Structure 1
């Protein structure tokens, strides 16, 4: 096999691995994301439970980075402490290492089973949760298949005359091997993929256990950079947990590398085969960092806070400029004479409105759980920003219409006006309807039943997912997305009926908590349904333009 053919096969296998991992993660997030977030919030107060929950989440999401970003957002919002967040991430890293171990077993038989069952479930039902379960199973099948593909692609390398020279060089230059693994992992954005690639090479006899362990340490360094880089533009509080993980895991990988290079500890205890030694070294390293992190977490937190504060101080001279950028509108007056460019500017401004609404919609349910006067006031201030952009868009569109426009441009102008109106209405519902529910719940000090809260959370998660579809549609104008959005509106109507029936059943049974929170429960469902209906109307212009919308209903294909 030529070098180019090898790289093509290996690149395809790695691409399938990354795609399959993403399929599993997004399927879990869509089907069970809200439940997982609730469990995480409840357990982060206990250091041991925080680590165990982080571990379980990493296994479920197939990504310690996803857990790091999630926990970092909780810390940024003040839902959890930075200390608990750092411990949860430590557990997540161990969970990610355990995923590699699970995937190292011979799971070939699961490939046809997962693909067959997953595809059947996905095609046989329209229920969101079941379809996501099918997506997860297909993702697992493709993930295992990608490992077989990597093994087959790498087999001819044993006969190569060049590869031994490269491996020999890396074996004699631990620093280069360490840094190369770190860079590759960062490019993959997945430590799981990087370690599995290493174990594949080790199983073929291409990479020795000694070199593999050095590169595994590099994998851990590269992986620890991903979350900090993704949050580098976030407020300081959001960066504490990712940078704390970088400080602990990154420094730990360098310390262990020094020990491995200078003391060459025996590897027999790590397993009898090269691939097992690499996998077990990965697990042992993360366990060591976890156990070291428990007593050192306070020190790491203080060091991280000092580091983030230093970064903030260093950028103080740019604060005014950054604030100006945040306030800068895309509505450039100089583009008014060019209607296509002006309409593109309006689209950009509408996207900013979407971002604000998405954050508000995501944040509102968190306020139901934990709110105070300061957070309520801050939430209400977000609507002022939405109103300001809405007013600016209306005035800008009115000024565009003074110029000659084609029929398509005039229609796009009207559609964008409708979008801004709908987004402003969603903001009003969140602040004028749902925020008073938060205040009422806080003043009365009542709590939903476990079942009632689960229903609200699932309903909210469905609306949030549909909102993201609507916001994407603003940019893509994709008819398939538009059809899905309208269909989800109909599905959510049935979910609302089922939820209301279950709520009234609890009332008939005389559940005290259900009686106390009945109006809050029903009003919240009603408001969320109204928000979903408003956002679903963003699909109508796209469908109408392509002749897919009848006068009152979506046409059947």
Structure 2
């Protein structure tokens, strides 16, 4: 086989592996993305739970980078503290290592079965969940197929005259091997794919342990660089998560790079072949990171917080909002459809501002400051102004000649604007007042109560995004999901209320002190969620999926 043909075969197999990992990840995220966020947010400050959750999520997503992005977003939103997010990522690194270990087994016989089952589910599935499950099975099947193709593509390299010289150089110059693997991992944006390639070369007898060890360490550090690169435009809170994880990986890789030379002979106890020794070394390296770095997560959080300062954008955001040009163009009033579209854009802007008010609420309740309180109140002013302008604009449209559809849409937009304004008032008047009282009195929530409220807040925020997507899509499936989520949030509030009463009966001092705060926060979040659910009602009512009354008529 010529060098060009060999390179094409290897490149094709590698790209198939990258695509397969993407398929699995997208299937899991589409089917269970909201549930995954809830799993992470439910752990509170328990670092062991957080690390275990990260391990499970990395196995499901087949990517520690995907978990890093998820944890970064939750940390930026206030659902997870930096300390907990770092614990999640330590567990995710171990989960990614477990995925590599499983894929290193000979599972080629599973590939046709997974492709057949996945293809049938994806093509014949009548709802989203079976189709996404089919996507996941297809991805795993393609992963196994790509591993077989990589093995076949590397077979001719055994007769290569150049490869032994390259491998020999890498074995002697570990720093170069480490840097090359780190750079290559960052380029392909998948540590799993790079590690599978390294293990594939080792399994074919093309890569000795001495050359493979620095490559394994370089791929581990490169994985941390991927998350740093992907979060470069995020908020400071999100960037700190990726930076802390990179700090752990760099620290561990530096120590391992120093000791692998003197202790390389001991690696024979990790397996009979070079591939087994390398994959077990990779697994042991990430397990050691969890064991030794998990107790240091708070120290690392303090270090990266001092290095990456918070973004000071409130004044810039204020100027941006003040300079914003309204979508309510008076020149469109003679064209009802265009005017209604403009009003929809303004309602979306109103919703975005309400979302900006709701997102930092948990951080505000945990660490209230006058500046944060004033910022939310300032945003509420923009919500009130948009509410007033939208009502006046839609009233002007209704003075023209509208058909039934246009008139109905105008009424729906007015109702949505009213509900969003009410939601903003709940945040600015109820929740902010609770934060102000907490600032003055110094009361604190119990650990269990705080975890419950964070999970509730996470659900409401997810539903807020779902509601705003529904505003522009009119998707009945999405509408039904939003209404179901309303019932689930009601159940969460009810369960939290019952647990809170149980803590009060047990005489828990912190629960007694924070009783009113806990109940008011839960009630306020439930009210916001109920207002968001109303966005689904016009769609469901028009399709006949919504009853006029929930009361069942009983004869007799």
**1 CA distance for matches of 2:453 and 2:400?**
48
- 2:430 is matched with 433
User: 1:42 aligned to 2:45?
Assistant: yes
User: 1:282 aligned to 2:285?
Assistant: no
Q: CA deviation at 1:423?
A: 2.1
Match of 1:445 among 443, 446, 455: 443
Q: CA deviation at 1:217?
A: 4.1
RMSD value over aligned CA atoms?
5.7
Deviates most, 520-529 or 397-406: 397-406
| Residue-pair matches, total | 521
Q: CA deviation at 1:486?
A: 1.9
User: 1:329 aligned to 2:328?
Assistant: no
**1 CA distance for matches of 2:97 and 2:491?**
40
- TM-score, L = length of structure 1: 0.68
**2 CA distance for matches of 1:86 and 1:454?**
15
Evaluate the alpha carbon distance shift between residue 237 and residue 362 of structure 1 in structure 2; reply closer, same or farther with a 3 A threshold: closer
Whether the 8 Å contact between 1:56 and 1:95 is mirrored in structure 2 is no
Q: Gapped runs of 5+ residues in structure 1?
A: 44-49, 117-130
Residue by residue over 1:311-342, the C-alpha shift from the partner in whole angstroms, topping out at 9 and shown as x without a partner, is 98xxx9x9998875565536357794477666
Deviates most, 431-440 or 297-306: 297-306
Residue by residue over 1:33-66, the C-alpha shift from the partner in whole angstroms, topping out at 9 and shown as x without a partner, is 4564464x535xxxxxx5x566434313215446
**2 CA distance for matches of 1:29 and 1:224?**
22
- 2:506 is matched with 511
**2 CA distance for matches of 1:325 and 1:102?**
50
- 1:195 is matched with 195
Whether the 8 Å contact between 1:54 and 1:67 is mirrored in structure 2 is no
Map 1:7-46 to 2 at 5 A. Answer: 11=15, 14-21=18-25, 30-31=34-35, 33-34=37-38, 36-37=40-41, 39=43, 42=45
**1 CA distance for matches of 2:302 and 2:363?**
25
Q: CA deviation at 1:428?
A: 1.3
Evaluate the alpha carbon distance shift between residue 367 and residue 231 of structure 1 in structure 2; reply closer, same or farther with a 3 A threshold: same
**2 CA distance for matches of 1:168 and 1:211?**
11
**1 CA distance for matches of 2:297 and 2:505?**
50
- 1:61 is matched with 57
Evaluate the alpha carbon distance shift between residue 321 and residue 521 of structure 1 in structure 2; reply closer, same or farther with a 3 A threshold: closer
Match of 1:466 among 459, 463, 468: 463
Q: CA deviation at 1:535?
A: 1.0
- 2:122 is matched with none
**2 CA distance for matches of 1:21 and 1:167?**
34
- 2:553 is matched with none
- 1:121 is matched with none
Residue by residue over 1:146-205, the C-alpha shift from the partner in whole angstroms, topping out at 9 and shown as x without a partner, is 543333343432455799699779758969987775566457655345434543554455
Whether the 8 Å contact between 1:179 and 1:218 is mirrored in structure 2 is yes
User: 1:418 aligned to 2:386?
Assistant: no
Q: CA deviation at 1:429?
A: 1.6
Match of 1:477 among 474, 484, 487: 474
User: 1:151 aligned to 2:147?
Assistant: yes
Evaluate the alpha carbon distance shift between residue 372 and residue 540 of structure 1 in structure 2; reply closer, same or farther with a 3 A threshold: same
**2 CA distance for matches of 1:304 and 1:526?**
33
Whether the 8 Å contact between 1:93 and 1:286 is mirrored in structure 2 is no
Q: CA deviation at 1:481?
A: 0.8
**2 CA distance for matches of 1:297 and 1:426?**
35
Deviates most, 394-403 or 134-143: 134-143
User: 1:91 aligned to 2:87?
Assistant: no
Whether the 8 Å contact between 1:202 and 1:208 is mirrored in structure 2 is yes
